[in-house]
Amino acid sequence: LDYQHVQVPFEITLWIMLASLAKIGFHLYNKLPSVVPESCLLIFVGLIMGGIIYGLNDRSPPVMDSDIFFLYLLPPIVLDAGYFMPSRPFFENMGTILLYAVVGTVWNVFGIGFSLYGICQVQAFRLQDVSLLHNLLFGSLIAAVDPVAVLAVFEEIHVNEKLHILVFGESLLNDAVTVVLYKLFRSFCEMPTIKSVDVFAGVGKFFVVGLGGVLVGLSFGFTAAFTTRFTKDIRVIEPLFVFLYSYLSYLTAEMFHLSGIVAIIACAMGMKRYVEANISLKSHTTVKYFMKMWSSVSDTLIFIFLGVSTIGENHEWNWPYICFTVIFCLVWRALGVLVLTFFVNRFHVNTITSKDQFIIAYGGLRGAICFSLVFLLPDFHRKKLFIAATTVVILFTVFVQGMTIRPLVDLLAVKRKRESAPTVGEQIHIRFLDHLLAGIEDISGHWGQYYWKDKLEYFNSKYLQKILLREYDQPKSSIVLLYEKLERKHAIELAEAGQLGHGPPQPSLQFGFLCSNDSTVIADQKLEDTLSPDVLNNMKEILARNLYRIRRMGPAYSRHTLPGESEPTEHAQEILILRHKSL
């Protein structure tokens, strides 16, 4: 037996396997995931694992290594988030998101930091040795909402798109603020005196970290798009470039102390459009599927590790400090959201309702980023207190808030996401309105979002597409593509209902290798992931019903009659008549 030799990959594989099996286990009982969020269950599994390890070894189980978290586990999740970010709502609400992410986070950091400092002044709590700077440092790491935790919970509750993008966008973009403030306070803690210059440098640094991240991300994204122009002859490595370039953008940003999260999101959003056009549809399916898979596994591992790391002797328990941390986290976030939304609503027609505000405040979950940051703190005598407080805040937000948010959303009747994809008609109208609004803005001299969007689109089609796309000379309107897709689907339905009317196909003519059905692969992302034989059968039934309607509507179509005038009860009768005729 030579375990030493294979230890590293073997243990990594086993951890991933455990994570995947845990996921399967939860889904075997359909009722469980609908009540308790998966993140809670995973932390619970982690706690049990940690308890077992602690019991067997009689020492603290290994805590999650911050390097492993930031270098290997976080990037897949953020890449997935950036790549599948719905760009329209994101850019439409960009201002609000940035306000929450920047001003809101700063507000929370200082609010939590100063009020905890106030608590430390109470003699009875015996916390006088925790300085203001240490409290602010703690505030900087505990204030930021965690994208992993938010994603895990909000993906399950299906709130409306705007609310989702507000919470989720904030959790992603606040990374730049967190990075700056955390590093600033950390270096302040080690400095003997703090000059006002340092404070101003910190403010300037925020722009460098955020915008630098965007720049790094976009440059890698465009390089990726440019590279995929030349992969025509080796389709098989196309998906690789999507992953490699986005990972490089993250690592490069981290290397220069910029915001890696912002970089990878900029990279993913920048490349998506061009890469999708360049690579084959099969490669694209692989990219999407693998991204989802990877982020799902990372996510699972993070929550399990969170649970495992909780067990052990890293904690210093101080009731007042920990309780007040939880309370201040909730209070300052609620206040921040209220105040900021008040200003946001004054400038928008489409205001954020008070229900939405409540969910935004309540959805401020903390997660593994805080946890990793608190372990990265330099050693000082109260570090274990901070670790304990962070752990409690994370467990409180994930378990209490995460488990109650779904009932609350039901109770408040928060607007949900619409289930169906927009129809062709809707899409055409949206596009028409965009052009119209851009024209109105141009005439009225108001440089609003439609004006800039139009300008960006012009720049894109004039320069970027020519450089980054492989076949720029043959652009096809997406409406035409959609029409072709629908017609192909229509044909398939007819074939499956056996109504082709051209006699049976000739299998011996060897169509098999002449046809390409690649283009039929893309469909609604969410639906495809859950397609199972039962669903398929269900669909076939629906199709069979619809097909009947089509057949009836097809030949009988007239400009003067409305479709669907006859009652569904007539169907059986009509079929009988048709049968009779054919006999």
Residue ranges in 523-562 that form contacts with a second copy under rule CB under 8 A: 523-524, 527-533, 535-536, 539, 542-543, 546, 550-551, 553-555, 557
Closer to a second copy by CB, 443 or 515: give it: 515
Instruction: State the nearest-atom distance from the C-beta of 39 to a second copy, in Å.
Output: 15
**H/E stretch holding 61:** none
Closer to a second copy by CB, 246 or 309: give it: 246
Number of residues interacting with a second copy: please give it, by CB under 8 A.
118
Closer to a second copy by CB, 280 or 449: give it: 280
Find the binding residues for a second copy in span 244-273 (CB under 8 A). Answer: 244, 247-248, 251-252, 254-257
Find the binding residues for a second copy in span 421-440 (CB under 8 A). Answer: 421, 423-425
Instruction: State the nearest-atom distance from the C-beta of 256 to a second copy, in Å.
Output: 6
Closer to a second copy by CB, 129 or 496: give it: 496
Find the binding residues for a second copy in span 493-522 (CB under 8 A). Answer: 493-496, 500-518, 520-521
Task: Report residue 159: phi and psi, to 5°.
Answer: -75, 175
Beta-carbon contacts of residue 222 (< 8 Å; ≥ 6 apart): 270, 271, 274, 464, 468
**417-439: b (≥16 Cβ within 10 Å) or e:** eeeeeeeeeeeeeeeeebeebbe
Two structure tokens written together for 26? 């939860």
Closer to a second copy by CB, 348 or 488: give it: 488
Residue with tokens 């052009």: 435
Q: Which of 289, 358, 472, 548 binds a second copy (CB under 8 A)?
A: 289
Binding mask 178-217 for a second copy (x = CB under 8 A): ----------------------------------------
Closer to a second copy by CB, 75 or 363: give it: 75
Closer to a second copy by CB, 187 or 444: give it: 187
Query: Candidates 93-101, 136-144, 233-241, 328-336 — which segment interacts with a second copy by CB under 8 A?
Result: 233-241
CA gap 130, 116 in Å, rounded? 9
Instruction: State the nearest-atom distance from the C-beta of 65 to a second copy, in Å.
Output: 13
Closer to a second copy by CB, 445 or 512: give it: 512
DSSP 557: -
Instruction: State the nearest-atom distance from the C-beta of 107 to a second copy, in Å.
Output: 29
Longest Cα–Cα distance in the chain: 100
Segments in 363-401 forming alpha helices (H): 368-375, 383-395
Beta-carbon contacts of residue 364 (< 8 Å; ≥ 6 apart): 145, 167, 329, 333, 397, 401
Q: Please, are residues 337 and 402 in contact by the beta-carbon 8 Å criterion?
A: no
**374-398: b (≥16 Cβ within 10 Å) or e:** bbebeeeebbbbbbbbbbbbbbbbb
Q: Please, are residues 13 and 273 in contact by the beta-carbon 8 Å criterion?
A: no
Two structure tokens written together for 536? 């398929």
Segments in 318-367 forming alpha helices (H): 319-346, 354-362
Closer to a second copy by CB, 144 or 291: give it: 291
Closer to a second copy by CB, 2 or 313: give it: 2
Segments in 121-160 forming alpha helices (H): 132-142, 147-157
- Does 574 help bind a second copy (rule: CB under 8 A)? no
CA gap 297, 471 in Å, rounded? 36
Closer to a second copy by CB, 334 or 494: give it: 494
CA gap 489, 495 in Å, rounded? 10
DSSP-derived 3-state class of residue 159: strand
Position 359, amino acid? I
Find the binding residues for a second copy in span 20-79 (CB under 8 A). Answer: 20-21, 23-24, 27-28, 30, 67, 71-72
Find the binding residues for a second copy in span 115-174 (CB under 8 A). Answer: none
Position 505, amino acid? P
Query: Candidates 9-17, 172-180, 268-276, 445-453 — which segment interacts with a second copy by CB under 8 A?
Result: 9-17
Query: Candidates 39-47, 90-98, 173-181, 235-243 — which segment interacts with a second copy by CB under 8 A?
Result: 235-243
Find the binding residues for a second copy in span 453-492 (CB under 8 A). Answer: 471, 474, 482-492
Q: Which of 197, 234, 413, 443 binds a second copy (CB under 8 A)?
A: 234
Instruction: State the nearest-atom distance from the C-beta of 189 to a second copy, in Å.
Output: 19
Look at residues 141, 580, 486, 111 and name the one whose alpha carbon lies nearest to residue 330: 111
Question: Cβ–Cβ contacts within 10 Å for residue 285, how many?
Answer: 16
